[in-house]
Each structure stands twice: as structure tokens, then as C-alpha cells.
Amino acid sequence: MSSWAGPHSSFESIRVLKLNRKVEYGLIALKYMLGKPRGELTSVREICDLFGTPFDPVAHVLRILNSGQLVESEQGAHGGYRLIADVDTIQFSDFIQLVEGHPLAFADCLREHDCRCTMLNSCNIMGPMAHFHQRIVEFLQSITLADILEERVPPPFVTEGPQENLLA
């Protein structure tokens, strides 16, 4: 294994892939609802107060989850949202796509109908990026929302000190 660790000296400074904030808000809301008695309502304000999240983005994400039939809403002064989907049957990749509103693409050239890459005609890494994309998508398809929300996916390794080359 190579000793090259790249320009970053700690795991915390590596920011190659990051979940969209809307996906994070959706996960926070669903995990909270999953811990409540089945059918109990949860308000947007309740989530925001408990987790310090902004109201409007969380409300927007819950509307998306409602349209995707993961939660259902109940209107009124004592309304809110309740979890109705079986999180064991929803692939994490499908959840991300629902919340983000578009297919997964980890490079501009991999967007099916919206390639914005200015180097497309001269790119020498399109093949490797497509392979990388496929492997990541396969991984995201292999885990369910329940795996994430119930912490059934092993956490990434964390070590003290400098990191080994993660690409080797």
C-alpha cells in the first residue's frame, strides 16, 4: 500500500462525496419518526426544535417525502407527518434520488440529459468516472433506508493520526 495520503492530513478534511443537506434533513426526520410509536404525528416544528434544523428546508423535504409516499400528512392545528413506508424496502439510492429530484450522477458527464462538462470532447477519465459512478450506485442500491436509520451499516473506519491512502 502506498504511503501517499494526498493533500489532506486528516479524515475530517476529506470532502470528496457529501450528502445533500436535504437528504440529511430527510434522514433526520425519518429516524426521529421511526423512533416514535407507529402512526404518531410529528410536526416540522418538533423536528426543527429538537435538532436545530431550519424550518423551511425541513418542511420542503417532508413535502417531498409525502409526495413520494414515505410519510403522510395530516392537516390542521394538531397536524403533522407520520411515517407510512416500510424503510426495509426502500433502497438508499432511491431515497437520495427522490429527495434530490434527479438521478444520481457523481460527475457532470454522467448526467443522462444534462451534461454540463466543458471538457466532454477531450476528457480522458470519462471511462474511469463511469466505473466509479457504477460502483457507488451499486453500493447505494445494496443498502436500505432501514440499514442507515437503524445503523445496520458498519461505520467507516476511523483511526488516530494520519490516514492511509484510501484509493490504494
* Domain CATH code at residue 64: 1.10.10.10
Q: Which residues contact 98 (CB under 8 A, 6 or more apart)?
A: 64, 65, 68, 70
- Ramachandran quadrant class, 76 (left: phi over 0; alpha: psi -120 to 50; beta: rest): left
Distance CA 52, CA 133 (A): 33
Q: Which domain holds residue 135?
A: 89-151
Residue 13 lies in a domain: no
Instruction: Report CA torsion sign: 156, 160, 163, 168.
Output: negative
Task: Check whether residue 68 and residue 98 sit in a common domain.
Answer: no
For 80-126, write each residue's pLDDT tens digit.
Answer: 999 999 999 999 999 999 999 887 877 766 666 666 677 767 888 87
Cβ neighbour number for residue 150 with a 10 Å cutoff: 14
What is the reported pTM? 0.77
Nearest to 62 by CA among 79, 80, 86: 80
Residue 73 lies in a domain: yes
In the prediction, which pLDDT does 41 show? 97
Tens of pLDDT along the chain (168 residues) come to 455 455 554 545 444 567 889 999 999 999 999 999 999 999 999 999 999 999 999 999 999 999 999 999 999 888 999 999 999 999 999 999 999 988 787 776 666 666 667 776 788 887 888 888 888 889 999 999 999 999 876 655 444 555 454 444
Distance CA 94, CA 30 (A): 15
